[in-house]
Structures are given as C-alpha cells and as structure tokens.
Amino acid sequence: MALNYPLNEKLKKQKVIDLLFTEGKTVTKYPLRLVYVALEESEEPLQIGVSVSKRYFKKAVDRNYFKRVLRECYRHHKHILLEQSDKPYAMMFFYQTKERLTYQEIFEKTEILFQKFIDTLSVPSEKTK
C-alpha cells in the first residue's frame, strides 16, 4: 500500500466541514480527537483534515509542526482505516493539548485512535444481528 497523502484525500469542501461539525461523531485518545461523518456521495473512501488550536500554540511555527506530525501519522496508519471501513468518511483530526508530545508518542496514539474508530464502526453492526 502506498504511504501517501494525495490531494484528493484532503478535506477542503466547506459543506463537508460544516456537516462534520453539526452531525459528526467523536472518538478520542488523549490528546488526539477524531471527528467523523459518513458521506453519502464521495469518490474517495477517506477525506481528512488536521487542526491544531491557536489556543494551545500561539506561534504558527509550532502549530504547523504538529499539523505536519499529524499528517505524517495519518499517512502511516491510514491502511487501518481503509481496510476496515466499508463506506466513505470525512474526518477531522485534532491535537488538543499544550503538551509537546514526541513524534513517537503521537504516532502510537494515532494507531490506538484509529483502531478505536474502527471498533466504534463495528459495534452498531453487531447490535443489528
């Protein structure tokens, strides 16, 4: 599997972003948060955006660093999402703390967060059986 983050996977449409924040569900693994919503019509199986709050990091240099780290962690772990999800999803990936975690810590927590997301997807289908 290619470890890339192509342009068509980047979340850019304002309508989809608005939908995320009005109807989206959340999965958290401190200090990371994933807000997601299933999409009805999408040619891409995943669209993801990353965000780091100005509240926690005043300098743009620091925010950009953590956004790069989040994108890199997504790139390495997106196979977890692609293999297990059956519908297209739009997601927003947040870093929510003032702590400056190392790349390795964020990398490990991303894997746990994505697995937690997959677990939440499988739970409703088991209830319907």
What pairing do the DSSP bridges indicate for beta strands 46-52 and 89-95?
parallel
pLDDT score, position 3: 81
Residue 1's contacts (CB-CB under 8 Å, 6 or more residues apart) are: 79, 82
- Read off the pLDDT of residues 5-31 as tens digits, 9 standing for 90 and up: 888 889 999 999 999 999 999 999 999
Domains and CATH numbers, the chain: 7-119 (3.30.230.10)
Closest Cα partner for 19 from 39, 48, 45, 43? 39
For residue 7, the 8-state DSSP code is G
**pLDDT at residue 129 tops 50:** no
Residue 126's contacts (CB-CB under 8 Å, 6 or more residues apart) are: none
- Read off the pLDDT of residues 100-109 as tens digits, 9 standing for 90 and up: 999 999 999 9
- Read off the pLDDT of residues 73-100 as tens digits, 9 standing for 90 and up: 999 999 988 888 888 999 999 999 999 9
